[in-house]
Amino acid sequence: MSEAKFKQNVQNSFARTKSDMYNLYEHIQFLYREIEELKFRNDMMAQKLSILRDSVSIEKKVPYTERKDIFVSSRSSSKVHKESCAFAKNIKAVNKIRFESESEALQKGYKKCACLST
Ligand SMILES: [Zn+2]
């Protein structure tokens, strides 16, 4: 290998290394921007989560006696009950259907249990 050729090879190697380093630098900059973006999204999610947690804990703080009546039925029944009815208490959680009001249940075709007719 001639001295000129050797010099040329060394220069080419340096040039490639330099360009690799620029590329790496750009990749790193890009990753930093991604990290910032993810941090931002994480903050937003944390904020939403804390709002959700607050709303759940507010619901839990409402004493049972102050809640409006809950009306329930079973998937295998056509009767609607107060949640406090003995029949309602026998309905398994997986089969339980809840209604916001008695009229909602009636509109959907459910019949009143004796616990509601008095
Ligand atoms: Zn009932």
Ligand 1 ion: Cβ-proximal residues, 5 Å cutoff: 81, 85, 87, 113, 115
pLDDT higher than threshold 50 for residue 109: yes
Same domain assignment for residues 74 and 23: no
63 in any annotated domain:
no
pTM across the whole model: 0.43
Residue 61 lies in a domain: no
User: What pLDDT does residue 63 have?
Assistant: 57
User: If you measure from the C-alpha of residue 49 to the centroid of ligand 1, how many angstroms do you get, rounded to a whole number?
Assistant: 38
Q: What's the chain's average pLDDT?
A: 88
Structural domain includes residue 79: yes
Residues 86 and 42 in one domain: no
Domain check: are 72 and 47 in the same one? no
| CA gap 87, 107 in Å, rounded | 21
Residue 9's pLDDT band, with cuts at 50, 70 and 90, is very high
Same domain, 79 and 106: yes
What's the 61 CA to ligand 1 centre distance in angstroms?
27
Report the number of distinct structural domains present in the chain: 2
Residue 22, in any domain of the structure: yes
Same domain, 52 and 1: yes
Summarised one tens digit per residue, pLDDT across range 53-69 is 887 776 666 555 545 67
Give me the domain span that covers residue 48: 1-56
- What's the average model confidence in pLDDT over 18-39? 94
For the stretch 75-87, pLDDT in tens is 999 999 998 899 9
pLDDT given at position 69 = 72
pLDDT at residue 97, as a whole number? 93
> Which one, of 98, 111, 92, lies nearest residue 71 by Cα?
98
Cβ within 8 Å of residue 99, ≥6 positions away: 70, 71, 72, 73, 80, 105, 108, 110
Residue 6 reports pLDDT greater than 80: yes
Write down which residue in 17, 34, 56 finishes a domain. Answer: 56
14 part of a folded domain: yes
